[in-house]
Amino acid sequence: MLLEKLVSPYRSVTVTFSTSLPVEIAIVRLRGATEPSILGTKKEAAVGTVTRQRVFLHRLVPGKGNSFKPIFVGRFDVAEGETQLRGRFTMHWLVKLFTASWYAGCIYWTVLATRIALEERGVLTLVPLLGVVMILLGGSVVLFLRWLAADDRRFLEEVITRAFSGSASGGSHAP
């Protein structure tokens, strides 16, 4: 459904990464493959927090910002003799709140303006179209930003997989 794609530009996707490494080693390797902060990072990298209870990662591309990019949120567990990093790729909750508020405001405007236009025939007949234009504009921006972040999930998956396989490369990634 188009409305679902526009309101939730990056739906949550649950994933599990498994490794035979002990949990402490897996944490150390993933920390080594990521940067702890965006400050001082001058190249493309996975950035965020890595602890047993909380893993929060996103892709940093210097000079480019995109609040609609996917983030990985998860935690380490041990199941069936394997270390597992379980989590989900999602969008930051503030971005979800902003997007939902945008569409709610546009829909509210359109409904209210349509009601007034029907009551005040002739004077404000085109005003409801402003709400429709704002919905379409918002949808276009969301789809464009989603397109810009199309490779972010794959990038983060590769960083995690490489860290667990032992070929971590210091937080950066060359495509």
Work out the pLDDT band at 10, boundaries 50, 70, 90.
low
Is residue 12 pLDDT above 50, yes or no? yes
Q: What's the mean pLDDT when you consider all of the chain?
A: 84
pLDDT at 4: 59
* Percentage, residues of the chain above pLDDT 90: 44
Q: What's the rounded mean pLDDT across residues 153-164?
A: 94
pTM of the model: 0.78
| 33-42, 134-143, 158-167, range with the lowest pLDDT | 33-42
pLDDT at 167: 54
Alpha carbons within 13 angstroms on the beta-carbon side of residue 94 total 2
Q: Give the whole-angstrom CA distance, residue 155 versus residue 152.
A: 5
Work out the pLDDT band at 107, boundaries 50, 70, 90.
very high
pLDDT digits 0-9 by tens, 33-85: 998 876 766 788 999 999 999 999 999 888 788 888 899 999 999 988 899 99
